[in-house]
């Protein structure tokens, strides 16, 4: 936050304290539901949905029947929720290519300045701290890779790089509850982000069987159950009756309507209409509000309910008048956009305006709908009323001009290597350089209409879903169809290679990797996995040559890192150190290379050099619990008991639900026959961790005493 913004916040704080006086202040719980359509909740009318928790919240509070997201993409949508401003102003337009600027004033920053304790736990990569959504939070748990790490914090389960890292809703609860329990005596603001309803739709048992007919519904029901546990903790603590609860979606899901299976490419209400439920302490429940509202209204509504002033940077409106029974017959104008088709695929972009009963979409193919008569947006009226279309087009351009901010350009970034690699492997970014470039805040009609290309994306999404389910035969057929459509598309070929790997057809996958033109950023990560599979199979020379060639065509820190791991396994320590160092030369923030250098020195017996690298790592990454854990393991192996425990304690301060650190501490107590401390550590795991795998590991360690 800039000095100017901080001064404004101080002024607001002083005014707010005078307004609130000595009144007891409410707690605030914000729950964001990723990829959740409003019409798939029971309280919104779905006949087979099982969402009793959210339905009960609606019965006890207010339900907004028509809430519109500003953008059908996770990071920018959350940026709007937290700032009360449109992407035009805060500048975050897509996943990965933008971060929320420091100048942005967030709900967490406002409440923290007012004296609220602020804590958050998130479920997936697009809302981690690297995108600056942690602004204003004292506690921010985004350790989303626990399920794929061993006790020493090393990643042992490699994903197929077709989806973002994530953690399930109960694990998110595990991450926020210790913080919540320690902040019940003072007003708190807690944000919980549940990712589960996002593609791929694969709910855990028994939801996969109960909802075999609709796995998406099963994921939402699974989230509803997790929310019930969180709310029950507030009830048990006696603070539920003074906690303002907000449940809101960030965007919806196409589910095949308008030929869009997922989201981000189109601006129909399938992906823009989201649930919004508000339970206000002391207010009568059962209110259903039919007027259109937006996620941009969340922040100003919360602030007015808390008797706090609304900053001038906010572009949404407080919905308190609607809660008080007032109506707006003219309706309120709302804006939505998706620039992702252009930023990720080089197609045309879409911008939409909601005004009254009409919705106008501008892009390579313009559309207008009467939402009262045609809520499914099936009848394009673009040629039916030329004058109205012209008026709406002018109003849309005026809205863009009046709501844009010159500081929005500060949000654009060239992603670091890890972010770029994740986005590339997922197929999100295909433009050279992964640079979002300058965004013109004007209506354009150039480029390919995203509506014409969404079927390609559907096939790609289907292939990824099949890969996730382990249905490699079907994914091979789908990926083969993609390759036939575009034989030179390296990413399509990489999806086929993953399918072949799953079928055990390593040689066929290797032949794809050996093909020419493996220079596409999105595909090199997958083909490096093929090289890794060859190495594991014993074809070490061929694997090293393949990885070297792929990295030569498209040099990346991760390519150097894989080569370093290969040379390490072959006992060629000097060569592996050179590759790890090359990874850092290309990206000084590629911290796992630094960690591997430290581990390599330790294996070579150069303990001083190893410790030096560990200390560099922790200096560069002071808030990384994984770095602390690995340093703790290093100290334990040297019998530096007190230092190791101190380091482990710091790892757990940074991430109270870092179960690998808990298990490492338990293992240390067991190893040193510290029975009492081991029992306390085991009981802490039992009370706080809902994952049976972690509890089983702890039980097994205790049996060694």
CATH number for the domain harbouring residue 256: 3.40.720.10
For 374, the 3-state DSSP assignment is coil
Strands 188-194 vs 117-121: parallel, antiparallel or unpaired? parallel
Q: Which residue has the tokens 């559309």?
A: 367
**Would residue 474 count as lying in a domain?**
no
Per-residue DSSP letter, 124: B
End-to-end CA distance of the chain: 51
Considering the entire predicted model, what is its pTM? 0.76
Average pLDDT over residues 211-231: 97
pLDDT for res 453: 85
* Structural domain range at position 222: 3-325
Query: Does 689 have pLDDT greater than 50?
Result: yes
Q: Which residue has the higher pLDDT, 607 or 14?
A: 607
Task: Of 120-129, 176-185, 650-659, give the lowest mean pLDDT range.
Answer: 650-659
Q: What tens digit of pLDDT does each residue of 144-154 get?
A: 765 555 444 45
Whether the per-residue pLDDT at 555 is higher than 90: the answer is no
Q: Is residue 238 part of a domain?
A: yes
pLDDT tens digits along 624-639: 888 889 899 999 888 8
pLDDT digit string (tens) for 300-312?
Answer: 999 999 999 999 9
Q: Are 25 and 15 in contact (CB under 8 A)?
A: no
Lowest mean pLDDT among 30-34, 358-362, 426-430, 640-644: 426-430
What local confidence, expressed as pLDDT, does residue 420 receive?
62
Is 24 inside any structural domain? Answer: yes
d(CA 286, CA 11): 37
Task: Tell me how far apart the alpha carbons of residues 233 and 239 are, in angstroms, rounded to a whole number.
Answer: 9
Provide the token pair at 5: 């913004």
Q: For residue 491, what pLDDT is reported?
A: 79
Q: How far apart are CA 589 and CA 617, in angstroms?
A: 10
Residue 425 inside a domain? The answer is: no
Mean pLDDT of 171-190: 94
The pLDDT value given to residue 430: 45
682 is a domain residue: no
Report yes or no: 415 and 351 within 8 Å, Cβ to Cβ: no
Cβ count within 10 A of residue 149: 18
pLDDT given for residue 14 in this prediction: 38
What average pLDDT score do residues 413-420 get?
67
- Answer yes or no: is 23 within a domain: yes
pLDDT at 2: 46
The CA-atom distances, in angstroms, between 598 and each of 157, 220, 501, 581, 644 are 21, 43, 32, 11, 16
**How would residue 200 be classed by pLDDT, with cut points 50, 70 and 90?**
confident
Percent of the chain with pLDDT over 90: 63
pLDDT class of 416 with cuts at 50, 70, 90: low
Let me know if 79 is exposed, middle or buried by CB neighbors in 10 A (0-12, 13-18, 19+). buried
Considering the domain boundaries, does residue 703 fall inside one? no
| Confidence label for 418 from pLDDT (cuts 50, 70 and 90) | low
User: Considering only CA atoms, which of 132, 126, 124 is closest in space to residue 175?
Assistant: 124
CB-based contact 271:72 (threshold 8 Å): yes
CA 29 to centroid of chain Cα atoms: 19
Q: Categorize the per-residue pLDDT at 12 as very low, low, confident or very high, splitting at 50, 70 and 90.
A: very low
How many separate domains does the chain show? 1
Mean pLDDT of 101-111: 96
Tokens of 375: 């809520």
Which one is predicted more confidently, 469 or 482?
482
Instruction: Return the structure tokens found at 446.
Output: 């150039």
Q: Which residues does residue 118 pair with via DSSP β-bridges, in sequence order? A: 189
The contacts of residue 56 (CB under 8 Å, 6+ apart) are none
Helix locations, 263-328, DSSP H: 269-272, 298-305, 320-323
For residue 157, the model assigns a pLDDT of: 42
Query: For 494, what's the count of Cα atoms within 13 Å in the CB-facing half-sphere?
Result: 27
Strands 334-338 and 287-289: unpaired
Instruction: Give the residue, 155 or 122, on which the prediction is more confident.
Output: 122
Q: Count CB-CB contacts under 10 A for residue 286.
A: 10
pLDDT at 431: 42
pLDDT value, residue 26: 97
Considering the chain, what is the average pLDDT of its residues?
A: 88
Q: Are 320 and 305 in contact (CB under 8 A)?
A: yes
Interval 44-88: pLDDT, tens: 999 999 999 999 999 999 999 999 999 999 999 999 999 999 999
**Which residue, 62, 94, 140, 36, is CA-closest to 297?**
62
Residue 521: pLDDT band (50, 70, 90) is: low
What is the residue whose two structure tokens read 């500003």? 70
3-state secondary structure 150-177: CCCCCECCCCCCCCCCECCHHHHHHHHH
Tokens encoding 440: 């013109």
Whether residue 349 is contained in a domain is answered as no
Do 70 and 80 touch, CB atoms closer than 8 A? yes
d(CA 444, CA 147): 44
Contact, 368 vs 388, CB < 8 A?
A: yes
pLDDT given for residue 423 in this prediction: 58
Angle at 305 between CA 281 and CA 185, to 5 degrees: 55
Position 17 scores a pLDDT of: 37
Q: Residue 158 has what pLDDT?
A: 47
pLDDT recorded at residue 151: 44
Of 89, 30, 611, 7, the closest CA to residue 401 belongs to 89
Query: What ranges in 604-658 are assigned the alpha helix state H?
Result: 607-620, 625-637, 641-654
């Amino acid at each position: 936050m800039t000095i100017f913004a901080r001064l404004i916040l101080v002024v607001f704080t002083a005014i707010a304290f005078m307004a609130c006086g000595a009144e007891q202040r409410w707690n605030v719980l914000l729950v964001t539901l990723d990829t959740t359509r409003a019409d798939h909740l029971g309280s919104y009318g779905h006949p087979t949905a099982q969402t009793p928790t959210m339905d009960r919240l609606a019965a006890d509070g207010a339900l907004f029947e028509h809430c519109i997201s500003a953008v059908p993409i996770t990071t920018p949508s959350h940026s709007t929720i937290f700032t009360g401003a449109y992407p035009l102003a805060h500048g975050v337009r897509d996943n990965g290519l933008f971060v929320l600027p420091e100048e942005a004033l967030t709900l967490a920053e406002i409440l923290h300045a007012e004296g609220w304790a602020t804590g958050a736990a998130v479920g997936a990569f697009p809302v981690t701290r690297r995108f600056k959504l942690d602004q204003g939070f004292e506690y921010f748990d985004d350790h989303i890779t626990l399920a794929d790490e061993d006790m020493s914090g090393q990643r042992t389960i490699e994903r197929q790089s077709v989806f973002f890292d994530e953690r399930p809703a109960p694990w998110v609860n595990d991450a926020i509850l210790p913080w919540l329990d320690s902040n019940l005596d003072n007003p708190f603001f807690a944000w919980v982000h549940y990712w589960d309803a996002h593609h791929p739709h694969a709910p855990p048992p028994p939801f996969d069987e109960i909802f075999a007919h609709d796995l998406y519904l099963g994921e939402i029901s699974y989230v509803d159950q997790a929310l019930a546990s969180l709310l029950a903790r507030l009830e048990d603590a006696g603070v539920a009756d003074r906690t303002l609860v907000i449940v809101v979606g960030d965007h919806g899901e196409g589910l095949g309507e308008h030929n869009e299976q997922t989201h981000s490419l189109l601006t129909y209400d399938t992906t823009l209409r989201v649930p919004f439920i508000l339970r206000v302490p002391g207010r009568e429940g059962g209110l259903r509000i039919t007027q259109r509202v937006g996620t941009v209204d969340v922040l100003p509504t919360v602030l007015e309910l808390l008797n706090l002033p609304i900053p001038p940077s906010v572009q949404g409106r407080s919905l308190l008048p609607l809660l008080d029974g007032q109506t707006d017959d003219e309706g309120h104008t709302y804006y939505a956009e998706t620039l992702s088709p252009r930023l990720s695929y080089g197609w045309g972009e879409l911008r939409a305006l909601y005004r009254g009963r009409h919705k106008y979409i501008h892009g390579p193919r313009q559309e207008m709908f009467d939402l009262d008569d045609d809520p499914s947006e099936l009848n394009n009226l673009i040629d039916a009323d030329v004058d109205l279309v012209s008026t709406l087009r002018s109003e849309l351009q005026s809205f863009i001009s009046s709501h844009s901010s010159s500081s929005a350009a500060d949000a654009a970034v060239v992603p670091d290597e890890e972010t770029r690699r994740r986005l590339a492997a997922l197929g999100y970014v295909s433009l050279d350089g992964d640079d979002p470039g300058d965004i013109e805040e004007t209506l354009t009609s150039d480029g390919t209409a995203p509506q014409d290309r969404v079927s390609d994306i559907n096939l790609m999404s289907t292939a990824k879903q099949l890969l996730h389910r382990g249905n490699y035969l079907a994914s091979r057929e789908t990926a083969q169809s993609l390759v036939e459509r575009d034989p030179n598309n390296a990413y399509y070929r990489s999806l086929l290679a993953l399918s072949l790997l799953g079928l055990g057809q390593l040689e066929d996958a290797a032949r794809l990797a050996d093909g020419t033109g493996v220079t596409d950023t999105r595909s090199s990560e997958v083909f490096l996995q093929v090289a890794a599979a060859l190495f594991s199979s014993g074809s070490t020379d061929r694997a090293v040559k393949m990885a070297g060639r792929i990295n030569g065509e498209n040099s990346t820190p991760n390519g150097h890192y894989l080569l370093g791991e290969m040379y390490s396994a072959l006992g060629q320590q000097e060569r592996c150190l050179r590759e790890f160092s090359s990874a850092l030369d290309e990206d000084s923030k590629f911290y796992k290379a630094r960690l591997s250098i430290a581990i390599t020195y330790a294996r070579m017996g150069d303990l001083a050099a190893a410790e030096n690298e560990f200390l560099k790592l922790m200096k560069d990454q002071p808030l990384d619990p994984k770095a602390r854990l690995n340093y703790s393991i290093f100290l334990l192996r040297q019998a530096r008991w007190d230092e190791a425990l101190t380091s482990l304690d710091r790892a757990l301060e940074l991430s109270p639900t870092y179960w690998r650190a808990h298990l490492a501490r338990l293992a240390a107590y067991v190893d040193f026959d510290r029975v009492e401390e081991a029992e306390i550590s085991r009981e802490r795991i039992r009370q706080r961790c809902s994952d049976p795998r972690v509890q089983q590991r702890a039980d097994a360690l205790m049996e060694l005493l």
